[in-house]
Structure 1
Amino acid sequence: MVDPTSELGEDVDEADAPECAACGEKIIQSPTHRVVTWVEDGRVASRHFCSPECKAEYDG
């Protein structure tokens, strides 16, 4: 898993890159990458989206 606090554009291997929760595309060095986090059962959970449009579609 990629460190969510890492610098934008950091070299990320495709095998370690998160997938968009809406379209399934790997997210690599994307300036439109969005992460939604929440606490569930005392643990941090997250979903990654490749763009605001994919996030809106997922939230739809």
Structure 2
Amino acid sequence: MVDPTSSLGDDVDEENAPECATCGEKIVQSPTHRVVTWVEDGTVQHRHFCSDDCRESYDAS
């Protein structure tokens, strides 16, 4: 399995790429890719964002 959170983005094509939680854009080898991770009820959760602007927009809603 390809790790879509790879810091290098190696071997991640559009089919396997994560989607931005705000705008839905596929994130492929993007230097502005951000991942927010937290633990909820003993389970690790995460959201991907294509940019800081999308992350801020998500937090504001």
TM-score range, shorter chain: 0.7 to 0.9
Could you state the TM-score of these two structures normalised by the residue count of structure 1? 0.86
Ranges in structure 2 where 5+ consecutive residues have no aligned partner: none
Ranges in structure 1 where 5+ consecutive residues have no aligned partner: none
Identity across matched positions, percent: 68
Runs of 4 or more above 6 Å deviation: none
Could you state the TM-score of these two structures normalised by the residue count of structure 2? 0.84
Instruction: Please identify, of 7-16 and 44-53, the stretch whose mean Cα deviation from structure 2 is larger.
Output: 7-16
CA root-mean-square deviation = 1.5
Aligned partner of 1:49 in structure 2 is 49
Number of residue pairs matched by the alignment? 59
